[in-house]
């Protein structure tokens, strides 16, 4: 089978990483087009990849007849229009989270894809491809912990850009635990409350950090998440599942442990999400490429989180942002999936 010809839109932090990933570590695909709002940036990236050219308009890149599939690594507010163009042209697309930045447009995307009768959209919730989450899910599904009851999560970043505000802690950080919850428990989230403890004096003015999110699933399972995005330390993502017959912990950073001359011992914490989830992104991309290669035979060009998963995450985060303002638990407002055949 010939290599897929991929267009990568948006070659900032994630997009440039994905170009390098596709060019060096993923088989069955080549990056043949890149696009960026900043033309020079796209041209510089294209120059580093044999057979790749820069295209000035993202919609031209999607429509290009020499492109088989698209990676969207543009900022969230542009996803809506670019995803609709992918659907119009029947192009499979791996879209970095979020699907879109509001619930209404996410639902519109879900409906438009369902009408086509093909699964073309995969959303980049990469934790579903991380070895530790996969192992935890397999043990849960095998009944090792009995009935799962509670999930305790920690999500800490050393720092965030100055433009990061309190609602972005919910929409950009918590969104990953929202997807993890839905992935591990296989059910929707019914309600969410954001609690605002005393803020970190070192956090930029005006940002509520840390935040504690409390979520309840449809069947009543409890999830709590500590979100703390200005720790100044490193990237820490931990998850503890507590079930009827035991518990399990992932994300402990227990690699090599070294004993030091000053009487200390310890290991290293991953500095950022690219180091912590690097292998997960590679697995995500290889499985997506393989699924797109099979797609004409199966009608399913995805192997991972769907447009519906993107919509569900948007709905929970919208309720989370509402709770951030009111401090009260907010019920998640979602349509019944059964009302959208094919979703
Ligand atoms: N899965 C993850 O772990 C993860 C981590 C970080 C970011 N993300 C997501 O990835 C996406 C990109 O984030 P980033 O951190 O790489 O951002 P970034 O700002 O570093 O890069 C975005 C790039 O898109 C370009 N751009 C802006 N508007 C455009 C348009 N209309 N068409 C084409 N290019 C355009 C910008 O010039 C920039 O180069 C976002 O949706 C973000 O939420 C996901």
Domains in the chain: boundaries: 4-124, 128-266, 305-343
Cβ(41)–Cβ(13) below 8 Å: no
User: Residues near 150 by Cβ (< 8 Å), separated by ≥ 6?
Assistant: 221, 222, 223, 241, 242
CATH topology of domain 128-266: Dihydrodipicolinate Reductase; domain 2 (3.30.360)
Cβ(154)–Cβ(205) below 8 Å: no
73 lines ligand 1 (CB under 6 A): yes
**Residue 183 alpha carbon to ligand 1 centre in Å:** 24
Secondary structure (3-state) at 11: coil
Distance CA 334, CA 182 (A): 14
User: Which pLDDT does position 261 carry in this prediction?
Assistant: 82
Which of 73, 102, 106, 175 gets mutated to test ligand 1 (max ligand atoms within 8 A of its CB)? 73
**Residue 13 alpha carbon to ligand 1 centre in Å:** 7
Residues in the chain where the model's pLDDT stays below 70: none
Distance CA 173, CA 313 (A): 12
Q: Enumerate the H helices of the chain as residue ranges.
A: 13-24, 39-47, 58-63, 79-88, 103-116, 131-141, 166-168, 175-185, 273-276, 278-298, 307-326
281 lines ligand 1 (CB under 6 A): no
Distance CA 235, CA 220 (A): 30
| Averaged pLDDT score across all residues of the chain | 97
User: Which pLDDT does position 253 carry in this prediction?
Assistant: 87
Distance CA 73, CA 88 (A): 19
CATH superfamily membership of 4-124: NAD(P)-binding Rossmann-like Domain (3.40.50.720)
**Residue 74 alpha carbon to ligand 1 centre in Å:** 4
Supply 232's token pair. Answer: 């100044």
Distance CA 231, CA 263 (A): 25
173 lines ligand 1 (CB under 6 A): no
User: Which pLDDT does position 182 carry in this prediction?
Assistant: 98
Cβ(170)–Cβ(164) below 8 Å: no
């Amino acid at each position: 089978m010939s290599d897929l010809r991929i267009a990568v839109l948006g070659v900032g932090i994630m997009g440039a990483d994905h170009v390098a990933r596709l060019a060096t570590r993923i088989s069955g695909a080549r990056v043949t087009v890149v696009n960026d709002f900043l033309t020079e940036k796209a041209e510089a990236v294209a120059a580093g990849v044999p057979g790749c050219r820069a295209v000035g308009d993202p919609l031209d890149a999607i429509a290009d007849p020499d492109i088989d599939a698209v990676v969207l690594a543009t900022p969230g507010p542009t996803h809506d229009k670019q995803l609709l163009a992918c659907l119009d042209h029947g192009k499979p697309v791996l879209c970095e989270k979020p699907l879109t930045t509001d619930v209404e447009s996410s639902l519109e995307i879900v409906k438009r894809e369902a009408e086509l009768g093909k699964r073309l959209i995969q959303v980049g919730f990469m934790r579903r491809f991380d070895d530790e989450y996969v192992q935890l899910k397999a043990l849960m599904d095998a009944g090792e912990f009995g009935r799962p009851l509670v999930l305790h999560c920690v999500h800490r970043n050393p720092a965030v850009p100055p433009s990061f505000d309190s609602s972005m802690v919910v929409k950009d950080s918590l969104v990953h635990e929202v997807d993890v919850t839905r992935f591990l428990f296989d059910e929707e989230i019914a309600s969410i409350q954001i609690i605002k403890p005393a803020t970190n004096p070192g956090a930029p003015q005006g940002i509520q950090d840390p935040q504690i999110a409390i979520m309840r699933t449809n069947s009543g399972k409890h999830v709590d998440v500590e979100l703390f995005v200005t720790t100044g330390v490193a990237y820490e993502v931990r998850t503890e599942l507590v079930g009827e017959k035991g518990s399990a912990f992932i994300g402990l950073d227990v690699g090599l442990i070294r004993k030091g001359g000053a009487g200390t011992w310890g290991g290293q914490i991953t500095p950022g999400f690219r180091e912590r989830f690097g292998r997960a992104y590679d697995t995500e991309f290889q499985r997506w490429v393989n699924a797109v290669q099979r797609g004409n035979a199966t009608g399913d060009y995805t192997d991972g989180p769907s447009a519906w998963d993107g919509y569900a995450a948007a709905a929970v985060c919208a309720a989370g942002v509402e709770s951030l303002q009111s401090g009260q638990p907010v019920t998640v407002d979602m349509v019944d999936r059964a009302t959208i055949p094919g979703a």
